[in-house]
């Protein structure tokens, strides 16, 4: 049984220049969200940005993708290496 991707890929592609940029940005933001939730448990969260969307998901990667789909996280094209 396949699980659908939420948010849909066509919504994500409206906000990113490439699949590569999407993967890199979503993974980086998911790690930041994870650090935020981890810091909450320790009582210090000032240096971490909380999730920028209202969601019912507990999955950090899904939250990051929702931020991208809603335009809350701006993704630039990766820099080319000479």
Q: Which tokens in the block code for residue 48?
A: 């971490």
What pLDDT is stored for residue 13 in this prediction? 85
Closest CA to 76 of 27, 28, 7, 22: 22
Q: Which tokens in the block code for residue 51?
A: 């999730």
pLDDT in tens, the chain (82 residues): 556 667 888 888 888 998 889 999 999 999 999 999 998 888 776 788 899 999 999 999 999 999 999 999 988 876 776 6
pTM, two decimal places: 0.82
Give the torsion through C-alpha atoms of 57, 22, 32, 47, to 10 deg. Answer: -120
């Amino acid at each position: 049984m396949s699980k659908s991707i939420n948010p849909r890929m066509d919504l994500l592609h409206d906000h990113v220049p490439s699949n590569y940029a999407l993967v890199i940005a979503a993974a980086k933001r998911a790690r930041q969200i994870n650090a935020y939730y981890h810091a909450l448990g320790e009582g210090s969260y000032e240096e971490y940005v909380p999730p920028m969307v209202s969601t019912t998901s507990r999955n950090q990667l899904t939250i990051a993708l929702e931020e991208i789909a809603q335009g809350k996280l701006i993704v630039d094209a990766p820099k080319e290496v000479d």
